[in-house]
Amino acid sequence: MVHIVTVHYNTPRFIELCIKAVHLYATVPYEHVVIDTGSRAKSLAVLKRYHKWVTLIRRREREGPGAHARSIDWFLNGRRNLNMVCLLDSDAFPTQKGWLKTLLGRIHAGADATGFAHFRNKVLLHPACMLFKHSAYVKSGRPSFRIVGLGKSIEDTGMVVCEEMKKHGFKLDPINMDGPAYRKRGFSGRMIEHRWCATRITRVPKNGKLDGKIPRENFERNSDSWFKHPAVKKILRHDLCAAKKSLGLR
């Protein structure tokens, strides 16, 4: 069993896409845990609509750059009997069947953690899509996913966690699965797409400080072209197809 963990705050279109894509393309046993950190009614309505596909946990965190990381820390430190954990951001989603099986294959081949190669440091992993053994995380001292510094430079939490795992002798196997979303708007045909250019970059004003008070729905409007792509349309039709299949219809 793989526990897929997605932290969410007020991005209803993206979380719907993420949930549907996981359900459509995961071919191994999994539990998709969505941790909501205080979304408004519009986002909660989406999460409740897919209650059979996800385990929803509501945490009323103060919104800001730390809420996401605090929720990951809380889950990893509070749940027992975890084996494989896959962090998957709410603005990331699989585009091909077998994506999770491919990641597990890397673990079975000897890695302790695998997923996105970090764009800042290719030998480390980006937590937008990161599969790892929970035991390796624990033995590394349960490093925090919190952002360490804000301002002109941000010390990425995924890099910190990976560095701690490597320091304790655990093997990382980074692979380049994501499309070049941060370079140009288009699909690469790889297994995972990460659209942080729509939900993250525009949240950083010129002074370099993150403003948690801005509703993230405002940034989804910048991604209309993404939602019109045939690959996304296929995913968004998935619940209709699944309903017809359960009724024996075509």
* 3-state SS track over the chain: CEEEEEEECCCHHHHHHHHHHHHHHCCCCEEEEEEECCCCHHHHHHHHHCCCCCEEEECCCCCCHHHHHHHHHHHHHHCCCCCEEEEECCCEEECCCCHHHHHHHHHHCCCCEEEEECCCCCCCEEEEEEEEEHHHHHHCCCCCCCCCCCCCCCCCHHHHHHHHHHHCCCCEEEECCECCCCCCCCCCCCCEEECHHHHCHHHCCCCCCCCCCCCCHHHHHHHHHHHCCHHHHHHHCHHHHHHHHHCCCC
Spatial CA neighbour of 33 closest among 60, 4, 2, 71: 4
Total domains present in the chain: 1
By residue range, what is the domain housing residue 210?
2-246
- Between CA 182 and CA 194 the distance in angstroms is 8
CATH number of the domain that residue 106 is part of: 3.90.550.10
Task: Label residue 95 exposed, middle or buried (CB < 10 Å: 0-12, 13-18, 19+).
Answer: buried
pTM of the shown model: 0.83
The radius of gyration of the chain's CA atoms, rounded to the nearest angstrom, is 17
Q: With a cut of 70, which residues of the chain have pLDDT below it?
A: 62-66, 148-156, 177-190, 196-225, 240-250
CA atoms within 13 A of residue 82's CA, in its CB half-sphere: 23
Q: What percent of the chain has a predicted confidence (pLDDT) above 70? A: 72
Please report the pLDDT score of residue 230 as a whole number: 80
Q: What are the Cα distances from residue 119, in Å, to 116, 122, 192?
A: 9, 6, 14
> What per-residue confidence (pLDDT) applies to 211?
45
Q: Which pLDDT does position 243 carry in this prediction? A: 47
Both tokens of 87, joined, read 């962090």
pLDDT recorded at residue 247: 37
CA distance 208 to 204: 6
Tell me the pLDDT tens digit for each residue of 62-82.
Answer: 665 568 888 999 999 988 889
| pLDDT score recorded for residue 173 | 93
